[in-house]
A = this chain, B = another copy of it.
Amino acid sequence: MSFVALTWMNCIRRHLLPKARFLHTLQVLQSEQILMSPSLASLDLPDIWTPNYSCQSSPAILKSGNEQTAMVLDGKLMSTEIRSKIADQVRQMKKCLGKVPGLAVILVGQRKDSLTYVRNKIIACEEVGIKSLVTELPTDCADADVQNAVMRFNKDPSVHGILVQLPLPQHLDEEKILDALCLEKDVDGFHPLNMGNLALRGREPLFTPCTPKACIELLIRSGVKIMGKKAVVIGRSNIVGLPTSLLLQRHHATVTIIHAFTENPEQITSKADIVVSAAGVPNLVRGNWIKSGATVIDVGTSPVEDLSCEEGYRLVGDVCYEEVVKVASVITPVPGGVGPMTVTMLLVNTLDSAKRMLNFT
């Protein structure tokens, strides 16, 4: 076996691939294939972060006795402003055409956080006059059931946006289901063609994914300069980290993407002017990860059990807020930062889609 194959074996072993997949990879390496590069999907590994659950301030930060320096961005307030403009345009559309934008949501199973998210989206639609439809399917439904729901909404002319609430139960084929979604109604922007058009300069996606779009709008509205700045995105999920990095690059930031295999991530983040954290790991980003005066956007929303809350849990971000608020110059809170702005971007995408389909300007 070649040196390279051995190196790969060690990499794979170290990250504990299931034995069957490991042996398959090994077989491929030993066979008479032309190239040594493996298939990309065979490379995919889960990003497993070491969580920090408690956010006890580090001695250095405590000793410094610094007070809060960061401006806290109010995502709710910004959303109110934007949603009032959306409501105006929906009213105009109704007046001129007798029609309103329609958003269809497909929800599979009973995940608590998904239920909350879907409810928030529906309420937001109602507030601005967008019609919403929800199809709820049981956890054990088949691929075909979800695909049929997608197809029905694809054909429905009163629906201008469709979203399948992720994550889906493990037994379902997410790729196949998302591929069935009509491109013109893909308001989440998760289709690979949309992602390609987001990545490629000179091109424009039909829809920009909502959370990345929310991050950029938060930055622009707060007067944070992006062009030429060092931006670090923590996490590389298909729905947040990846598209956020692509979008920041289209805005001419110098972008680095950090993931669970990155060595010494804090060395990289501490050089950044803008940090967007989307790892989904509570308290991952400590005070010493952040350069003094940096902008910190916290996308993380992990449910943590809290019996004092009505729902029995509360959402916490990736950022150790009490430490970072003393170091950064701009910060978003969780909740009340990126979350409401993400829902707002979904409303914008749905409105834009209706305007495009109904040829309404």
Contacts and interface: CB of A to CB of B under 8 A. Distances in A.
Interface of A: 3-4, 7, 11, 32, 34-37, 39-41, 43-45, 82, 85-86, 89, 174-175, 191-205, 208, 213, 216-217, 220-221, 223, 225, 227-228, 230, 236, 238, 242, 246-247, 249-252, 254-259, 261-263, 268, 348, 351
Contacts of A247: 40
25 contacts: A7-B223, A7-B225, A11-B225, A34-B82, A37-B213, A37-B220, A40-B198, A40-B203, A40-B250, A43-B250, A45-B252, A175-B202, A192-B200, A192-B203, A195-B196, A195-B199, A200-B242, A201-B238, A201-B242, A202-B238, A228-B263, A230-B263, A236-B249, A254-B263, A255-B256
A91 to B, nearest CB: 14
A3 B252 contact: no
Number of copies: 2
A44 to B, nearest CB: 5
A143 to B, nearest CB: 16
9 closest pairs, A vs B, by CB? A192-B196, A196-B196, A195-B196, A256-B256, A254-B262, A252-B261, A34-B85, A228-B261, A36-B220
Contacts of A198: 40
B35 A217 contact: yes
